Structure 1
Amino acid sequence: MVFGPAVPEVDPGGVPDDAYLLDVREADEWSAGHAPGAVHIPLFDLATRAGEVPRDREVYVICRSGGRSAQAVRALNDAGWRASNVTGGMHAWAVAGREMRSETGAQPVVA
């Protein structure tokens, strides 16, 4: 998915294991399956919780398929963060074989 020069992108395989990964999906999506170590701030809450996101390192932003995370990246970068959109979102993360966890105790899935 291409969002123009204002939205840097990185493939799931290019996200370092120790990255600050911001998941902007809704709570039910997060519970069904997310990347270990990711931080959950739904897109709707990002404006009021942006202070929780570090400014001193690259921020990788992910959602289900890349649309909401692109919006978040655009907003964060416009406000002075260094953020990149994870191309293809959690769907691409799962296809790439990256680790996932569930909050429900069930096998993690992308919801």
Structure 2
Amino acid sequence: MHQSLPAVGAAEVPADAFVLDVREDGEWVAGHVADAVHIPMGTLIGRIDEVPQEARVYVMCRVGGRSGQVTAYLVQRGWDAVNIDGGMLAWEAAGRPMVSETGTPPYVA
């Protein structure tokens, strides 16, 4: 049994937070947090230097599974990382702002 991960609800993420979105490209394009940084989970290890160690990192995926794995990985390596409970679906449900890369209204893919 592993220890429980640090997690916050979508409504509690500060507006100026560093949000790391670990979803795939198609999910990102459809809709994401405006200032989030997109590093798909499969590319994280090669791009780990893009994740700041001096700030709390809020990790996002669609529902919280992939982001939970990434949060665990970061925490084990000394980051202050927190999983966003419920992911983008919870973010959308909480009415938090989203943008898309397509010019159409954002949605969670």
TM score, norm. by length of structure 1: 0.95
> What letter matches 1:105 in structure 2?
G
The reply on whether 1:7 has 2:10 as its aligned counterpart is no
Could you tell me which runs of 5 or more consecutive residues in structure 2 were left unpaired when the two chains were aligned. none
Query: Deviating runs (4+, > 3 A) in structure 1?
Result: 3-6
Structure 2 equivalent of residue 44 of structure 1: 42
- Identity over the aligned pairs, expressed in percent? 52
Describe the superposition over 1:70-103 as per-residue Cα deviations: whole angstroms up to 9, x where unpaired. Answer: 0000000111101000000000000000000000
- Give RMSD over aligned pairs: 1.2
Structure 1 equivalent of residue 64 of structure 2: 66
Counterparts of 1:32 and 1:10, CA distance in 2: 23
**Offset at residue 7 of structure 1 (A):** 1.2
Structure 2 equivalent of residue 21 of structure 1: 19
TM score, norm. by length of structure 2: 0.97
Describe the superposition over 1:7-61 as per-residue Cα deviations: whole angstroms up to 9, x where unpaired. Answer: 1100011100000000000000000000110000000000110111000010000
Counterparts of 1:93 and 1:5, CA distance in 2: 25
Q: Across the two proteins, how many residue pairs are aligned to each other?
A: 109
Could you tell me which runs of 5 or more consecutive residues in structure 1 were left unpaired when the two chains were aligned. none
